[in-house]
Amino acid sequence: MNELSPSPLLFTPMTIRGLTIRNRIAVSPMSQYSAVDAAPTDWHLVHLGKFAMGGAGIVFCEETSVSQRSRKTYDCPGIYTGEQARAWRRITDFIRGQGAAPAMQLGHAGRKVATRAPWDGFAPLSEEDARAGRAPWSGLAPSPIPFREGALMPKEMDADDIREVIRLHVEATKRTLDAGFEICEVHGAHGYIIQQFLSPATNRRNDGYGGDRQSRMRFGHELIEAVRAAWPQELPLFFRVSCVDGGGWGMDDTVVLAAELKARGVDVLDCSSGGIEGPLTLHLVPRVPGYHVPFAERIKRETGIPTMAVGLITDAQQAEGYLQAAQCDIVALAREMMWNPNWPVHAAAALGMAKPHELLPRPYAWWLQRREDVRALSMNAPTGT
């Protein structure tokens, strides 16, 4: 790993359009399956708020649905009503008040709807669930292919459906601004609706939205153009992509997509993988430290678009090394933040920054710095003979 510079890049502010983030650490979206009537609750306030208190530069909320029909589960959040947007505002106000940038991830699950939670295996809702008040529903998809055995057949989208899904993203984008978010990310990965159009495994259309790669990218292009037009020009737009998916989409395709998204106003590509064949992609990308970083590096090098990498980034020197080597521009952590919400502060200490406690809110920072000062005095005090 390269020798680290005296001033860690991890804690160097970064300006994207008109937004300056305080450091290069992002909290990656983490689905919690804890919404009530698709609105965030106190759980989300505490879950996300503690990451902002811990010193992260960007705090993403979880994938949030643009419509009721596009939710994965009954417990997923949405931003398709004014009430939901107001519920998010309480959370974004707190995140911003702690010095972090609140970030929205807009999602539409397409055919991957009406499931149970991951701890129940993402099983499709059944007659038993219906008797308990959780009836399954059918999703939308580029082609009528169920996402797994037992799931309802999705409706093949016609021209009106395509226009409506784009409109829903535009309306959700406007509510994202009303809700106080400063970054908007469109979820184009993990087997959701945009990736369903991109992948030849799920897109078997013979119209202008299917066939060759350029036609399969058309839906995503039109959606991004509409979202970019609705999102303020001074605020960043991110896009999450599955760089490889196992269904006939690979890195050569992603590099082409990244260049075209950049030309349409996307500012950062959030690099992930998998989803078309199911929730786990261990066979596609072995789970080694920084397993998405090589994807982010190639995309950044070949297209010039800034990238964000996630995947077993757990160590401060590791994260700093990726930035110093220009392999990505932002590092994102998820489960490591669950384990240690104050990871940014500990990383600052590990990288030798003076007064790392200053990343924390003053009621924490003052007391912790005082403890350090007392320790220093004790160590320097003369000893008796």
Residue 280's pLDDT band, with cuts at 50, 70 and 90, is low
Which band of pLDDT confidence, cut at 50, 70 and 90, is reported for residue 282?
A: low
Length of the chain equals: 385
Distance CA 237, CA 329 (A): 15
Residues contacting 116, CB < 8 A, separation 6+: 73, 122, 123, 124, 125, 129
pLDDT above 80 (res 277): no
Residues 177 and 312: their CA atoms lie apart, in Å, by 31
Q: What proportion of the chain, given as a percentage, has pLDDT over 90?
A: 87
Mean predicted confidence (pLDDT) in 172-177: 98
**Residue 263: partners with Cβ closer than 8 Å, 6 or more residues away:** none
Q: Which residues are catalytic?
A: 192
Q: Which residue has the tokens 């991004």?
A: 224
What does the CA dihedral 282, 60, 5, 317 come to, rounded to 10 degrees? -40
Q: Which long-range contacts (CB under 8 A, 24 or more apart) does 354-360 make?
A: 359/54, 359/55, 360/53, 360/54, 360/55
Chain center to CA of 194: 15
Span 150-173, average pLDDT: 97
Summarize the confidence of residues 159-173 as an average pLDDT: 98
Task: Report d(CA 378, CA 374) in Å as an integer.
Answer: 6
According to DSSP, residue 100 is labeled P
320-322-328-334 Cα dihedral, nearest 10 degrees:
-70
Residues 25, 333 contacting (CB under 8 angstroms): yes
Q: In this structure, are residues 324 and 9 in contact, taking their beta carbons and an 8 Å threshold? A: yes
Tens digits of per-residue pLDDT, 71-127?
999 999 999 999 999 999 999 999 999 999 999 999 999 999 999 999 998 999 999
Q: What is the pTM of this model?
A: 0.94
CA 17 – CA 235 distance, rounded (Å):
6
What secondary structure letter does DSSP report for 262?
A: H
Strand partners, 20: 15
Specify the amino acid at residue 303.
T
Give the per-residue pLDDT at 3: 43
H-helix or E-strand containing 368? helix 362-380
Which whole number is the average pLDDT over 267-291?
Answer: 84
Please give the pLDDT value at position 12: 96
Residue 300 clears pLDDT 60, i.e. is over it: yes
pLDDT exceeds cutoff 60 at 279: no
In this predicted structure, the answer to whether residue 374 has a pLDDT above a threshold of 90 is no
CB atoms under 10 Å from CB of 137, counted, come to: 13
* Averaged pLDDT, 129-158: 96
pLDDT value of position 6: 58
Span 309-334, average pLDDT: 97
pLDDT tens digits for range 10-41:
999 999 999 999 999 999 999 999 999 999 99
Average pLDDT, the chain: 94
CB 139 within 8 A of CB 154: yes
For each of the domains in the chain, give its residue range(s) and CATH number, in order of start: 9-353 (3.20.20.70)
Average pLDDT estimate for 220-232: 98
pLDDT above 60 (res 313): yes
